[in-house]
Structure formats: structure tokens, C-alpha cells
Amino acid sequence: MTIKKIAKLAGVSIGTVDRVIHSRGRVSSETKKKVNEIIKKYKYKPNFFASSLSLSKSYTFGVLMPVTSQDSGYWAMPEKGIQNAYNELSIYNIHIKYFYFNKHDETSFKKAWKEMLASKINGIIIAPVFSSITKYYLISEMNINIPIVFFDSYIPEIKNIAFIGQDSYQSGILSAKLMKMLINEKEEIAVIRVVPDDYHINQRSNGFQHFFKNQNGYKVKLYDIFNGDNSEEFKLITRKVIEENKNLAGIFVTNASTHYIAKNIKAVTDKKISLIGYDLIQKNIYYLKEGIIDFLISQRPEHQGYQSVYALYRSIVLKKKLQKELMMPIDIITKENINYYIE
């Protein structure tokens, strides 16, 4: 079925059919009805190629995310996924414009945000690590009527925006379960919460603690770190944690900084301390293979980036409805299966 054939069947010109299809008015309700009936009857689907060719539109998606070096290089992973999606979609005239910010500097975020809004973009992808500012911006400037996708973290108060990422709370619960398998009863556990004002990180810690609250005989103690890129802080806290807990059997780190702890454990004690953390960055993988880190939880960052771009593509180019949530599986990574998660 083509527009031409529909026109012939309806006894009108293709211009009229086009006007009906796109609701551009200037068609009598009679003709409109007739055309719509034929469209329905023959299940007409516009030819995507012809349409795209004719429109020869190009779309630009804005990506607002931390510079890739931060969080131990974590952000390079979603960026890679974004790039992969771009490589696949560039034939459809899709472009990506990156707006990086320093996640330890609010003003750089604000600047990136302004720059992004000032440039002509058709869709937005945000890693809302600055939850409160992002929230404020999105609520105050709600005149932005282009699709927005959150990845990595999200902001519970903001509705009607798609989220692609992981259920952090549940990942904390799962980590706790794994921890329980690794240690014996009555032993002590430390949670190292990195950047506690990030909603996402907080949820991981909450989930972990919640699991052990329902288990008898375990002591879980919480420690905070405010800059996940400062190795010195980790050195100090590792020492502190081990000294303060004589029966320490396990440490749970709430983000990619796990390797800092892994590195310092050896220096402080010879005892085996079970270690569970997040994210498949190089250094974490190293310590996982070495046996210092027992489990890593992965949130498929590459896939998150990839899917974020695709979500906008589907919504904007293919004009499909934007899916509200896309939850990434909570991947459990060990020495044995790590190789199937990298490269």
C-alpha cells in the first residue's frame, strides 16, 4: 500500500491523502473519512525510507554527563555505549552533542546545562548526578518540550521522564545477600558510602543495610566519603574501618571506587576481608581477578548509554511512545564470569 494507491482508491489526489495522514486540515470531513477507512482497511504503513528521504531531517541529541575521567573512569563506559548507538544510527542523520561537566563543581554543571539548552537539539540525555539542581532546572524550565532521558541515576520527584538504569536499592539487597554467603555469623561488616548526597548511591547503601537489619547476629557500620576521586580519603578510611572493627569480615563499597579500598586492605591487614563493590572499571577488574574483590555489581553502563540514545531515536525518529523505565539487570560479576562482561 502506498499513498498513490490510496489516492486512487479514494478518488482523490495524493496531496489530499497526505493532508489526511498528517492532519494538516483543508480536507472535507467526508473525504477524510473515506481516506481513513481505506488506510485502516489496507493497514497502510508509511514507507519509512521515502518519508525520511523526503524530510531529509537530521536530529541532534544532547548528552549531559560528567567528564569521563571521573569516578575512576566510570563515565567512559556509558559514553562508549552512546558512541556505539551513534555509529549505528548515524546513517539516519542522527548526531550527538556532548556537554560534559565536572561532578565536583556545580557551576560547571550549570554552565553545561545552559550551553545545551542554547544549542539546537531534539532530545536530551542526562546523568542527573546533581540531583537537586537538575530537579530545580527541570521544574522551573518545564517549557522544554523535547524528550528527556535520565540514565545512571534518577530523581524520584520528577515524573514523565524516561529512566534507564538500575534499581539501586535492590542491588544493595543483593550485595548484602552475597556478603552473607561470604562471611560467618556475628562478624562485622562496613559499608563505605561514597558521595552520600547522590540519591542513587544512597539507595544502594540503604538496600544493603536493610537486608542485614532482618538478619540476626551481624553488625553493619556505615562510613561516608565525600569525594570519590580522592585516593587519600580512601586510604584513611580503610585504616579507620579495619582498626575500628576488630572482627571485620566484609566491606561493601557503594560505587566504582572499590579498587581504592582493595588496594589499601593489603597494606593494613593480612586477614581476608570480603569485598563487594560496583562497576567494571579496569582497576576493579584487576582486583577482582586477584581475588581481593569478591563480587562486583555491574549496572551495564555501556548498555545504558546505548539504550538512552535508542530511546530518543525511537521516540523522535520513529515517533513511538517513549518507554518510561528501562531497568538494567543487576549483574553479579566474579572472577569466573568477568571475561564475558568485558569486550
Q: Which amino acid is at 11?
A: G
Q: How far is the CB of 303 from a second copy (least distance, A)?
A: 10
Does 161 bind DNA (CB under 7 A)? Our answer is: no
Contact indicator for 78, 150 with CB cutoff of 8 Å: no
User: Which is it for strands 219-225 and 188-194: parallel, antiparallel or unpaired?
Assistant: parallel
Does 26 bind DNA (CB under 7 A)? Our answer is: yes
Exposure pattern of 257-282 as b/e (b: 16+ CB <10 Å)?
A: bbbbbbbbbeeeeeeebbbbbbbbbe
Does 69 bind a second copy (CB under 8 A)? Our answer is: no
Contact indicator for 262, 306 with CB cutoff of 8 Å: no
CA distance 204 to 167: 9
Does 249 bind a second copy (CB under 8 A)? Our answer is: no
| List 8, 9, 36, 46, residue binding DNA (CB under 7 A) | 46
Instruction: Read off the C-alpha cell for 128.
Output: 542527573
User: Which of a second copy, DNA, none is residue 4 near (CB under 5 to 8 Å by kind)?
Assistant: DNA
Task: Give ∠ CA 238-241-246 in degrees, rounded to 5.
Answer: 130
Identify which of residues 15 and 329 has a Cβ nearer to DNA in the complex.
Answer: 15
Nearest to 80 by CA among 234, 290, 309: 309
Does 246 bind DNA (CB under 7 A)? Our answer is: no
Span from 17-25, 31-39, 52-60, 149-157 in contact with a second copy (CB under 8 A): 52-60
Identify which of residues 158 and 332 has a Cβ nearer to a second copy in the complex.
Answer: 332
Q: Using CB under 8 A, which residues numbered 187 to 226 contact a second copy?
A: none
CA distance 226 to 75: 18
DSSP β-bridge partners for residue 150: 126, 163
Identify which of residues 37 and 325 has a Cβ nearer to DNA in the complex.
Answer: 37
Task: Give ∠ CA 199-203-206 in degrees, rounded to 5.
Answer: 135
Q: How far is the CB of 68 from a second copy (least distance, A)?
A: 23
DSSP β-bridge partners for residue 297: 278, 332
Span from 121-129, 225-233, 265-273, 325-333 in contact with a second copy (CB under 8 A): 325-333
Span from 45-53, 58-66, 180-188, 249-257 in contact with DNA (CB under 7 A): 45-53
| List 28, 91, 270, 319, residue binding a second copy (CB under 8 A) | 91
Which residues are at the interface with a second copy (CB under 8 A)?
45, 47-50, 52-53, 56, 91-92, 166-167, 170-171, 173-174, 177, 181-182, 318, 327-332, 334, 336-337, 339-341
Name the site residues for DNA (rule: CB under 7 A). 2-4, 11-16, 18-19, 21-22, 24-32, 44, 46-47, 50-51, 53-56
